[in-house]
């Protein structure tokens, strides 16, 4: 199939439409390409409004790189607002905690209530402020419990600990998270350690996206091995 030529004007238009582009990509739509890799498994990524952009987008593309279809799921199937979380390095007025700024948008492909977790090879729990409210969703709790009961790979970053803690699946585990969420890990019955990445059984956790290099080295190794069984 002959590929269409993209003009400079068209490319600039695509770049200007970045939020819409992310919405399309979250549906798993890829261009026809003889080099496209076959999908070897699906990974579920629960999100909500105020999901952190870097926490979410890097995993979205990294897992796809190895042939996994990342299915973004939310309380409803709609467009969600991502945010940027950062403690400003040189603010005029110092911040003791994270500052939140608007980010891109991403489309949820399926609502939590419609998810059959048996169809997925793994679960990736992103961070940001979204976990504060989506952890109250009973279907998300049902979904999360499945991956631990079935011993499937689960990746958790930053505030994502709030979801696995609420689901009651980390009791007796050792894990890490951003330091301000250490209490969430401990209240869920886990032992908190301040490390870049911790693997305990099927659970791989990291503190923030700054730890993604060592985290994804371990998580992708586990995820790839799980689909080869």
Q: Is the pLDDT of residue 31 over 60?
A: no
**pLDDT class for 15, splitting at 50, 70, 90?**
very low
Higher pLDDT, 220 or 228: 220
Half-sphere exposure of 73 (CA within 13 A, CB side): 26
Question: Active-site residue 85, yes or no?
Answer: no
For residue 113, what are its two tokens? 């209530």
Of 21-25, 106-110, 129-133, give the lowest mean pLDDT range.
21-25
pLDDT digits (tens, 9 = 90+) for 179-224: 999 999 999 999 999 999 999 999 999 999 999 999 999 999 999 9
**pLDDT class for 154, splitting at 50, 70, 90?**
very high
Q: Which domains does the chain have, with CATH numbers?
A: 39-227 (3.40.50.880)
Which of 146, 159, 210, 217 does the annotation list as catalytic? 159
Residues 48-82 as b/e (b if ≥16 CB within 10 A, e otherwise) read bbbbbbbbbbbbbebbbeeebbbbbbbbeeebbbb
Q: Is the pLDDT of residue 12 over 80?
A: no
Q: Is the pLDDT of residue 142 over 60?
A: yes
Q: Is the pLDDT of residue 7 over 50?
A: no
**The dihedral of CA 35, 40, 41, 43: what is its sign?**
negative
Q: How far apart are CA 222 and CA 218, in angstroms?
A: 6
Mean per-residue pLDDT of the chain: 87
pTM for the predicted model, two decimal places = 0.83
Q: Is the pLDDT of residue 225 over 50?
A: yes
Average pLDDT over residues 92-117: 91
Apex CA 68: angle with CA 54 and CA 156, to 5°?
45
Q: Is the pLDDT of residue 58 over 50?
A: yes
């Amino acid at each position: 199939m002959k590929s269409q030529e993209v003009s400079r004007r068209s490319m600039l238009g695509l770049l200007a439409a970045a939020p819409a582009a992310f919405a399309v990509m979250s549906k798993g739509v890829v261009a026809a390409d003889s080099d496209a890799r076959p999908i070897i498994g699906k990974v579920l990524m629960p999100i909500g409004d105020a999901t952190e952009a870097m926490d979410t987008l890097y995993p979205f593309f990294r897992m796809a790189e190895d042939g996994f279809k990342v299915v973004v799921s939310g309380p409803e199937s709609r467009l969600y607002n991502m945010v940027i979380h950062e403690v400003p390095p040189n603010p005029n007025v110092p911040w003791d905690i994270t500052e939140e700024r608007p980010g891109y948008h991403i489309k949820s492909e399926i609502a939590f209530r419609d998810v059959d977790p048996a169809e997925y090879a793994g679960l990736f729990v992103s961070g940001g402020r979204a976990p504060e409210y989506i952890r109250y969703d009973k279907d998300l709790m049902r979904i999360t419990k499945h991956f631990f009961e079935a011993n499937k790979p689960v990746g958790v970053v930053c505030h994502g600990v709030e979801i696995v803690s609420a689901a009651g699946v980390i009791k007796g585990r050792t894990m890490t998270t951003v330091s301000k969420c250490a209490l969430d890990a401990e209240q869920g019955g886990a032992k908190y350690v301040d490390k870049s990445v911790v693997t305990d059984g099927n659970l791989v956790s990291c503190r923030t996206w700054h730890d993604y290099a060592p985290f994804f080295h371990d998580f992708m190794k586990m995820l790839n091995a799980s689909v080869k069984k």
